Amino acid sequence: MTILAASPAAIAQAAALLREGKLVAFPTETVYGLGADATNDRAVAAIYAAKGRPQFNPLIAHVAEARDLDDLIVWNDAARLLAEHFWPGPLTLVLPRRADSPVALLASAGLDTLAVRIPAHPVALELLRATGRPVVAPSANASGKLSPTTPAHVAESLSDNVELILAGGKCAVGVESTVLDLTTPRPTILRPGAITREMLERQLSRVFEATHDDASPKSPGMMASHYAPHLPLRLEATTVAPDEALLAFGPDVFVKGGATRLNLSPTGDLTEAASNLFAMLRQLDQLHFNGIAVMPIPALGLGIAINDRLQRAAAPRDAV
């Protein structure tokens, strides 16, 4: 891990590292972010591994210009209006993903939506321009620790897991961005932040707040649990029935030949497995089977988040 003052040369180096799939921490106006190339499945998986999150929460994709989002999400009028008014700034918009969006499915935690933002920090904007790709950047701290507002905080929390920290002083806002869901006719605040409901209501006539007892719960946690395949999942499978597809893991796959199977990681690499999880579940789910058998995945490191997601996907629908 290296800490460099955010000079043009350091920013160019950081952009090159991001394009190689490495993790780089950088300042935004809210908190320091742990950045990865949003289009690189392995790099996105490495973010979850570095943070040690026991769950796959969807991540925010950051870009430098609104037009950089044209390939990623489906715009609507409210999004255009708010983007015009509040970007660059501490407002994250949740929008439908384009079907051909190049952003890793893991970044959306398997959802059909994507959270996007243009940060208002000169270092973040220069880095995003130099990288030329969307960058996912959750707060640069280990799971359960406070969000970092100085480079020293990042180094304390993540030193082994980040290639480079771009130092750009203390973050001005210090709290995370407001997250606003624009995927339904009711714009809904999923996470309160620096852009308040009153500020949003000056642009959109009504803005709602997600509450726990909301008729249609939309809090980030609930959203994150939303993706489930149509086919039932059978976990810890040590056999596969003729009417099941197999989601395998590791080198010791018990069926050879016949059965339709995809392997999350033939070498048993959990980062590779995480990067393949949502795409492979979706692929198997489209096939004509009566269920998906999933081989055991070790509950270590990223395996904890993978198992968490599989368990939710396997739970009876009305219990999710």
The binding site for ligand AMP (CB under 6 A) comprises 57-60, 92, 94, 108, 111, 113-115, 138-139, 176, 179, 190-191, 220, 223-224
Q: Which among Mg ion, ligand AMP, none contacts residue 191 (Cβ within 5 to 8 A by kind)?
A: ligand AMP
For ligand AMP, give the closer residue by CB, 10 or 115.
Answer: 115
CB of 245 closer than 8 Å to CB of 293: yes
Name the one residue in this structure whose structure tokens are 């989601």: 247
- Interacting residue with Mg ion among 13, 40, 131, 139 (CB under 5 A): 139
CA atoms of 285 and 250, how far apart (whole Å): 21
> How many Å apart are CA 79 and CA 149, to the nearest integer?
28
Report what 188 binds from Mg ion, ligand AMP, none; CB cut-off 5-8 Å by kind. Answer: none
161 binds Mg ion (CB under 5 A): no
User: CB-wise, 176 or 244, nearer to Mg ion?
Assistant: 176
Residue 21 interacting entry, from ligand AMP, Mg ion, none, C-beta within 5 to 8 Å by type: none
> By C-alpha distance, which of 150, 83, 94, 147 is closest to 118?
83
The contacts of residue 62 (CB under 8 Å, 6+ apart) are 28, 33, 35, 116, 117, 118, 119, 124, 128, 134, 135, 136, 137
Q: Kindly state the tokens that stand for 8.
A: 């043009």
Give the residue with the Cβ less far from ligand AMP, 225 or 263: 225
Could you tell me how many residues of this chain bind Mg ion (CB under 5 A)? 1
Question: How near is the Cβ of 258 to ligand AMP at its closest, in Å?
Answer: 38
Shortest distance in whole angstroms from residue 28 CB to ligand AMP: 10
Report the nearest approach of Mg ion to the CB of residue 138 (Å): 6
Helical ranges in 87-227 per DSSP H: 122-131, 151-158, 197-201, 220-224
Give 176 or 244: the residue with its C-beta nearer to ligand AMP.
176
Would you say 255 and 246 are in contact if contact means Cβ atoms under 8 Å apart?
A: yes
**Contacts with Mg ion, residue ranges (CB under 5 A):** 139
